[in-house]
Structure 1
Amino acid sequence: MNRKRKAIAGLLFLAALSVAVAANIPKDTLVVASNSEIFKSFDPGVCFEVEPSVYVKNIYANLVTLKMVDGAFTPVPDLAEKWEQSSDGKTWTFYLRKGAKFANGDPVKASDVEYSYRRAITINKSPAWLFKDTLGLTVDSIKAVNDTTVTIVTNGAPSNIVLSVLAANIGGVLNEKEVRAHEVSGDMGQAWLTDHSAGAGAYVLKEWKRKTQIVLTANKNYFNGEPPIKTIIVRDVPEASDRYLLLKKGDVDVAWQITVEQAASLRDKSEDVALISTPAQSLEYVAMNASWGPFKDNRVRQAVKYAIDYDAIINKVREGFAIKNQQFLAIGYFGYKESNPYKRDVEKAKKLLADAGYPNGFEVEIVTSESDIRRAEAVVVQSNLADIGIKSNIVVMPAAQMYDKYRNQGLQMIVAGWGIDYPDADALAKPFADYTVKQLAWRNAWLDDKAAAMTAAAAKEINDKKRAQMYIDLVQYWQVNGPFAMLYQPIEYWGIRKEVKGYDKAFEGYNVHCNFTLISK
């Protein structure tokens, strides 16, 4: 059979399989219902959206990967079996495991790592700042010493930052020979890698029919052995109600992006369907512009923090799918130590307002996006503030308009969220505490030099014990002085058929950790 006939036969098989799964999903096949509108590219140097990143993580292998160990994200070997760090903390040497192959059978070499990292820096897409800004890499920073050894010269960032960034999608290693064969007009393979793959991970991107389905198949050359699930089919199902119905009927194994109400209904015992959940890699907050009127006074900001009913937001708005976490560090991150100093105390909030010169309160505008959950959160905050004499007016804006004003310090108060780029305290301290990086602290005009200096110092400390304590101290200072009332850390959840095993471990720490090889039926 020639190559063309093989390709046609393969496509016919996939089409038949996608129709057949509704009636009887094979044990070695996982069918997922999801809204795939956000999918733009499977190129590890380009992809920066959360859900597509999950699949990219399983298509490409990195030098290192992350797994949960005793509740904390921990770097572990992937393509590199070991590594060394120089005494000055800047130069890293990685030794590749022997015998690792790409999906097409080509051996993985250090030159592929060098090419992949230099390519990511050169094409300079959304993820590139992780290499360039966070680690200080240039194209000259990565060098293949021989076939199994590669060196990377960083800016001296602490080890957990370096390894966490290398474990991100941008650290996925490409088959240089295959990518170069598909270059068009010097694009370094970007067009081809949008819907093809050239990795050494557990799966291969077999097909992507926009607005229909995505198909991944097991990599027979995967260095850790073929996974139990041989085929993953992602069916594009735009409506949550349809995804939920398909799950209940048994037409799909997993339903993504179901509503809070649907997830809550799956908590009840069911013979066929279960709910899997894990702490999300994001945070929800209320923020105040520290340069605006009453919010210039920290006592007013403190009053707002004591006025909010955090438990009501978690239990009523989120139906319990959230964790009380009143700091900028997410659970499981380096430096995290539980710290929740605020609870609703109306009398204390009123006294703080009076002490600041606002015994009768004031009027403020709360801006949020069109998200149903954030609008509901804003309503609770509005009611809470009314109890201490603050009249707030909710303004709902399209996200693009809202963030345009926000980035220019143009909002008085906001209900919003923040996604996390890599699992280290530095990824959160900088946006929330260091105004010089021009992110969240800047947007809320909290120009606190002490917090900025503490953040910068912690980012350079290579002694892990000292560094962890520095973040504990920074969190305490931020909680007292900052313009943020952290509402909660969300919980991600999925509806799954009960015959699916290992999904909880596979998605523990989503989306930082996501390993489809742990799933079976």
Structure 2
Amino acid sequence: MNPITTALRLSLFGAILALAPVTAAQAKTPADQLIVGMSLVNLFSIDPANAPGLDASGVNANLYDTLLKRDNGNPEQHLPQLAKSWSVSEDGKQITFTLRDDVKFHSGNPLTADDVAWSLYRVMKLNYGLATTWKAYGYSVDNIQSLIRASDAHTLVIDLPQPTDPLLLIDSLATSPSAVVVDRQTVLKHEKNGDLGAAWLVTNEAGSGPFTLTRWNANDSLLMTRFDGYWGGAAKLKRVVVRHMTESQSLRLMLERGDLDLAYGMAAPDIKAIDGRDTLQVQSLQRGTMYYVALSMKQPQFADPKVREAVRNLIDYQGLDRQVMPYYGKLNQQPMQLGLAARLPDPGYAMNVAKAKTLLAEAGYPQGFSTTIRTLSEPPFTDIAARLQATLAEGGIKASIVSGTGNQVYGAMRARNFDIIVARGAERYPHPYFSLRTFAYNPNNSDDAGLPNFQGWRASFFSPQLNTLIDQAGVERDSAKRVALYHQAQSLYDQQVGPIMMISQMTDTVVSSAEIKGFSGDDAEATRYLGVYKQR
């Protein structure tokens, strides 16, 4: 038999073994493969134009590249990636990027500035939720090709269509899941009926990242293989195998037996039980993402600020923080990430059933009312929803829980078709402007505006006064004045009883074998496995 064919069969056989059902006799994981256990229930697309979820970001961070990246989550500092350098014009209206000339896509096609420009145009043309990021800067499908363009094969010129701090746009190019660069030639080969390859890219990729996508079976497994031609140097591991696992006890058992190398999404009791063992290591990462309770102001009850305030008084923030959220999140009641200089202290919301009943009676609901709570069918969402259901009942609000997949839950929210949702989302990297835009901003409250990236739009929350404050902060170059605007916006959101009520800032706890080295979780769940290896 041909030696190459034999080697290929053995290689595939190893991958199949890694994906096979676990048995008691299974040996330790292969030395050149990373076996990851996590829930894939929210992974329904990896198309960069339509994959806003955290799980998709974690996959795409390994399949694609961006022009640049943040320096350890610092919103003021960025590092080169596909762009080796960039400059901003004196008037702040134009940014010029010089690209690397040694980058090849997985297809073998060389990277050009046209690929970058077209990738952003594609996001706008398809007009899914992630297009909102670029609409906010003034881009449209009609102007983006003239404003974001290649001046030559390795030079990209970006003109800002409206007054904006250019640092904000640079930051979006480093952090938005829609800012990854796709291989234009490959994608267009798979175009059908003018969809710009949208149907194909749901389950395929056209990137330049350190890994290629070998196989993805929804709610089963995902296999990524090392791209040996990666411009940043080949990954240390040959494969990354992600197995769909939703049971925390199963994740724990497989880690203890050595059948998994790394696990996401373990329940707090299981993490606590193994924390401190010599054979395992626990890494806790603070994310920018928030857990929240959202009320739809399209519903007559929740359009009333007194009802929203009543609900705010029926959330057991402190109890959730102590009993449900350890290893999942940290108490945060502001629409802004912890640790930012522009963030005001928590307003001190707490459970107050008597006040809630008074507010409901004043709003015309002395006996309460019935409603529904949508949430994901996995912890901690189910636990938060159950606790919320119980505390709402103390105030007279009878809520039934409707659980489902990410597409079912967030799909209903994006369609503005819900009552209450327990969810997680928002700007992943720490930045006050993007936090407020995500939670409090809504420039157009009509159903057909199509602005699902704004949580405020999803909840039908519309405040022109807040919009103005956030817009002013986005163009203000004086740091003291900018912070003052952020403070005003947070105070106003509190006064107006914003319908998206933050309860916790995500803490992602990753448990891995002590053999795993070089793993450093990213604060936006865009963790790369490029430098990960096993020490045995």
Q: Same fold (TM over 0.5)?
A: yes
Q: Which residue of 2 aligns with 1:510?
A: 524
The AA in structure 2 aligned to 1:230 is K
Q: Which residue of 2 aligns with 1:324?
A: 331
Q: Which residue of 2 aligns with 1:114?
A: 117
Q: How far apart are residue 58 of structure 1 and its match?
A: 1.6
Q: 1:243 aligns with which of 227, 242, 251?
A: 251
Q: Secondary structure at the match of 1:517?
A: coil
Alignment of 1:349-498 (within 5 A): 350=355, 353=358, 363-365=368-370, 367-370=372-375, 371=377, 373-374=380-381, 376-378=383-385, 380-381=387-388, 390-398=395-403, 400=408, 411=419, 414=420, 416-421=422-427, 423=429, 424-438=431-445, 440-441=455-456, 447-463=462-478, 465-484=480-499, 485-498=501-514
Q: How far apart are residue 418 of structure 1 and its match?
A: 4.1
CA distance in 2, matches of 1:198, 1:7: 26
The AA in structure 2 aligned to 1:117 is L
Structure 1 pair 105/436, CA: closer, same or farther in 2 (3 Å)? Answer: closer
Q: Which residue of 2 aligns with 1:280?
A: 287
Q: Which residue of 1 aligns with 2:81?
A: 78
Structure 2 unaligned regions, length at least 5: 20-25, 446-453
254-263 vs 428-437, which deviates more? 428-437
Q: Which residue of 1 aligns with 2:346?
A: 340
- For the 8 Å contact 1:382–1:391, the answer to whether it is kept is no
Q: How far apart are residue 516 of structure 1 and its match?
A: 1.7
Q: Which residue of 1 aligns with 2:208?
A: 200
Q: Which residue of 1 aligns with 2:322?
A: 315
Does 1:44 find its partner at 2:48?
yes
CA distance in 2, matches of 1:443, 1:237: 30
Q: 2:517 aligns with which of 498, 501, 504?
A: 501
Q: Which residue of 2 aligns with 1:253?
A: 261
Q: How far apart are residue 344 of structure 1 and its match?
A: 3.3
Alignment of 1:109-258 (within 5 A): 109-134=112-137, 136-137=139-140, 138-156=144-162, 157-167=164-174, 168-183=176-191, 187-190=195-198, 192-209=200-217, 212-237=220-245, 239-258=247-266
- For the 8 Å contact 1:275–1:494, the answer to whether it is kept is yes
- For the 8 Å contact 2:373–2:402, the answer to whether it is kept is yes
Q: TM-score, normalised by structure 1?
A: 0.82
CA distance in 2, matches of 1:51, 1:355: 39
- For the 8 Å contact 1:367–1:402, the answer to whether it is kept is no
- Render the CA deviation track for 1:92-146: whole Å, top value 9, x for unaligned: 2111134333345543222222333333333444433333444515233221111
The AA in structure 1 aligned to 2:172 is V
Structure 1 pair 486/224, CA: closer, same or farther in 2 (3 Å)? Answer: same
CA distance in 2, matches of 1:264, 1:437: 45
Q: How far apart are residue 182 of structure 1 and its match?
A: 4.8
- For the 8 Å contact 1:64–1:76, the answer to whether it is kept is yes
- For the 8 Å contact 1:195–1:205, the answer to whether it is kept is no
RMSD (CA atoms): 3.9
Percent identity over the alignment? 23
Structure 1 pair 204/373, CA: closer, same or farther in 2 (3 Å)? Answer: closer
Count of residues in correspondence between the two structures = 507
The AA in structure 2 aligned to 1:118 is Y
Structure 1 pair 493/95, CA: closer, same or farther in 2 (3 Å)? Answer: same
The AA in structure 1 aligned to 2:99 is L
38-47 vs 450-459, which deviates more? 38-47
Structure 1 pair 106/473, CA: closer, same or farther in 2 (3 Å)? Answer: same
Q: TM-score, normalised by structure 2?
A: 0.80
Q: Which residue of 2 aligns with 1:519?
A: 532
CA distance in 1, matches of 2:410, 2:179: 32
Structure 1 unaligned regions, length at least 5: none
CA distance in 2, matches of 1:143, 1:380: 51
